[in-house]
């Protein structure tokens, strides 16, 4: 090469830190989208059970879908599912306590099946009074946590999310957005916090499993490089 000539710079490569941050951001977005659609699907199916049994009643003018549900229910549940599913592994990392109990997809699918069963029981099983049903669903929900989670952070988040979701639901019913038949806990059914708790544990398990899968993929890519 002649003196004074400079070699033309090649394509600029991102450093390992930038590449890692970009990869994590993309994976976070993908996990959020997956969790959103899972939440939408579960909301459509489970809300249909509640409406068919006249547990929840929507004004006729807001019913606008083949699932006989208000249009805002699926996206709200999908958004909440995405937030919960991303929050659980984030809290685990923040506390330095990675969740390793039953970390396989078969366990996650069984957890989803139990959650659907708990929701189904709230709509289909007839008890003498709502208190008996509430105590039964509370025991089943805690049993779901013990069987598929067993972490203190999972239990604490589940209780906090159930409390917050119940308060929001009370406000929605109070403002006439929809209503529950035979309310016995202010404006809603007393078993509703149990459903929210079980749903939180379920979406947390899905979110943790997706995060575990992401870590495995990143580790394999790093090993190949």
Short-list 2, 133, 152, 141, CA closest to 55? 133
- The pTM assigned to this predicted structure is 0.78
Of 128 and 12, more confident? 128
The residue-averaged pLDDT of 200-218 equals 80
Residue 103 contacts residue 212 (beta carbons within 8 Å)? yes
DSSP H helix total and E strand total for the chain:
6, 2
Domain boundaries, the chain: 23-53+60-224
Structure confidence by residue, pLDDT tens digits, 8-28:
454 444 444 344 445 778 888
Does position 198 have pLDDT exceeding 90, yes or no? yes
pLDDT at 46: 83
pLDDT at 215: 55
Does position 54 have pLDDT exceeding 60, yes or no? no
pLDDT at 11: 44
Residue 219, helix vs strand vs coil: helix
Question: What is the C-alpha end-to-end distance of the chain, expressed in Å?
Answer: 32
Give the C-alpha separation, 40 to 73, whole Å: 8
Residue where the block lists tokens 């090469």: 1
């Amino acid at each position: 090469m002649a003196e004074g000539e400079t070699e033309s710079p090649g394509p600029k490569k991102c450093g390992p830190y930038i590449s890692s941050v970009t990869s994590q951001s993309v994976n976070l977005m993908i996990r959020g989208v997956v969790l959103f659609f899972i939440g939408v699907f579960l909301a459509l199916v489970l809300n249909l059970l509640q409406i068919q049994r006249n547990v929840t009643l929507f004004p006729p003018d807001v019913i606008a879908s083949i699932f006989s549900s208000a249009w805002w229910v699926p996206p709200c549940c999908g958004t909440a599912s995405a937030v919960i599913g991303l929050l659980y592994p984030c809290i685990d990392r923040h506390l330095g306590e990675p969740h390793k109990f039953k970390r396989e997809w078969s366990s996650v699918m069984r957890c989803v099946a139990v959650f659907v069963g708990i929701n189904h029981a709230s709509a289909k099983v007839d008890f003498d009074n709502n208190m008996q049903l509430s105590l039964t669903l509370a025991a089943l929900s805690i049993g779901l946590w013990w069987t598929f989670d067993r972490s203190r952070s999972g239990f604490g988040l589940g209780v906090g999310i159930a409390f917050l979701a119940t308060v929001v639901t009370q406000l929605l019913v109070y403002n006439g957005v929809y209503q529950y038949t035979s309310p016995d806990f202010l404006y809603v059914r007393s078993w509703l916090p149990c459903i929210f708790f079980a749903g939180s544990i379920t979406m947390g398990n899905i979110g943790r499993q997706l995060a575990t899968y992401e870590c495995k993929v990143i580790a394999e890519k790093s090993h190949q490089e």
